[in-house]
Amino acid sequence: MKTKLFLFIVMGLVGGCFSCAEQGGGIEPLEPLNVTLYDKDSTTIQHYIQGKWKVVYAERWQAAGEGIVTLQYYDDCFVEFTADSKFDGNCRNPYENRPYSWYKGKHSLISTTDSIFIMRPKQGISTYLFKEIRNDTLIFLGDYNFLIRQFENHYCIKENIF
């Protein structure tokens, strides 16, 4: 009797393991986040960008159609957007708890009408346009040198992913 009970339990465990294997172990992989941001309102953009992001690299380029000027790779560069409308960063120019605001405007590279939300630090002249999150990568455009219309696309991954 004990042998039959033991065989019944073993067969149940083996059968259960095979059915899990057929279903991929019961764990569904997470789909990467893909969302366009530049056509969203500021509250929605803030929701998606909130948190700490590792800047992997930036493309610096001219708006006059000259293409990419340089690629800048970063080893230990982070930007963080907080719930209370502040951001921190340690890339080229370190800053902490820098307040920012949103304004509705146009950006010649995206829209010719005042239809997009642009982030501007309350101290400084740079502006940031959040383009999209593609495959969990935040892509935003920053003015590198506005006077000569030189910009940077920043590619960042969420800190808790790696």
Asked if residue 14 has pLDDT above 50, the reply is no
Instruction: Report helix, strand and coil shares of the chain as percent, to nearest 5.
Output: 25, 50, 30
* pLDDT attached to residue 44: 94
* pLDDT attached to residue 101: 86
Q: What is the pLDDT of residues 116-126, one digit of tens each?
A: 888 888 877 77
Longest dimension (CA), the chain: 88
At 37, the pLDDT band (50, 70, 90 cuts) reads very high
Asked if residue 20 has pLDDT above 50, the reply is no
* pLDDT attached to residue 46: 92
Q: What is the pLDDT of residues 58-112, one digit of tens each?
A: 887 766 656 667 788 888 888 888 888 888 888 766 667 788 888 887 766 666 6
pTM reported for the whole predicted model = 0.70
- HSE-CB at 89 with a 13 A cutoff on CA atoms is 15
Picking from 124, 127, 126, the residue whose alpha carbon sits closest to that of residue 116 is 127
Strand partners, 78: 54
Asked if residue 45 has pLDDT above 60, the reply is yes
